[in-house]
Amino acid sequence: MSGDSLPLSALQHWLFCPRQCALIHVERLWEENRLTAEGRVLHERADAGIPESREGMRVLRSVQIASSRLCVHGVADVVEMHGTHPFPVEYKRGRPKAHRADEVQLCAQAICLEELTGQEVPKGALFYGARRRRQGVVFDADLRALTSRVASEARSAMAAGDLPAPVYDPSRCESCSLNGLCRPQAPRVTSGWMARRLVRAGTPE
């Protein structure tokens, strides 16, 4: 792959929060909290073990994949081979989300597998640890277009080396392990403090 190839996880990070993506993939910052530790353990369990055959399919684990079209690379947790047709399975610690970041990451894996095998990959699955079951994902035209757009946006932003401004969203920020490094509420606090100082400075004694 070329030097501007992104890790597959960057697509998920970018769609979830562009600033988080830049902190991880441009600034090279990382901190772990309970949620990321649980996710890491779940991935380690999924990736562990040797290839196996069961119920008429071959199960491959920790599969190195890449796409020259998307300029991404990474590791697929599990790829089930139904004959010659790959079926990717991505493991996540929590529950299904309102945004499509997990689906985009999985779709990118499917595109990688299509390039590597020459076989169409129409669907895959997300396994959520909190629910202990799979959620099927169909790689339709809309999801493929979204995946291509996200890959292009993330790659351009990472190449530019920009760090997007923080946007505080409690539903994302309070569970993010990078909250302390990002400090998403700091600009608002500073801005409010400065505004009060300016008002006081302009008030006659």
Residue 203 covered by a domain? no
Residue 86 covered by a domain? yes
Residue 184 covered by a domain? no
CATH code of 95's domain: 3.90.320.10
For the residues 162-166, what does the mean pLDDT come to? 83
pLDDT over 70, % of the chain: 77
Residue 1 covered by a domain? no
| 37-86 pLDDT tens trace | 554 555 555 556 566 677 778 999 999 999 999 999 999 999 999 988 99
Q: What are phi and psi of 116, to 5 degrees?
A: -75, -35
For the residues 162-168, what does the mean pLDDT come to? 83
| 178-198 pLDDT tens trace | 777 787 776 544 444 444 444
- By CB neighbour count within 10 A (0-12 exposed, 13-18 middle, 19+ buried), where does 71 fall? middle
Query: What's the domain count of the chain?
Result: 1
Residue 100 covered by a domain? yes
Whole-structure pTM value: 0.76
Would you list the DSSP string of the chain? Answer: --TTPEEHHHHHHHHH-HHHHHHHHTS------HHHHHHHHHHHHHH-S--EEETTEEEEEEEEEEETTTTEEEEEEEEEEETTEEEEEEEESS---SSSHHHHHHHHHHHHHHHHHS----EEEEEETTTTEEEEEE--HHHHHHHHHHHHHHHHHHHHT--PPP---HHHHTT-TTHHHH-TTHHHHHHHHHHHHHHHHTS--
Residue 178 covered by a domain? no
* Cα separation, 10 vs 86, whole angstroms: 23
Residue 47 covered by a domain? yes
Structural domain including 101 reads: 6-166
Residue 193 covered by a domain? no
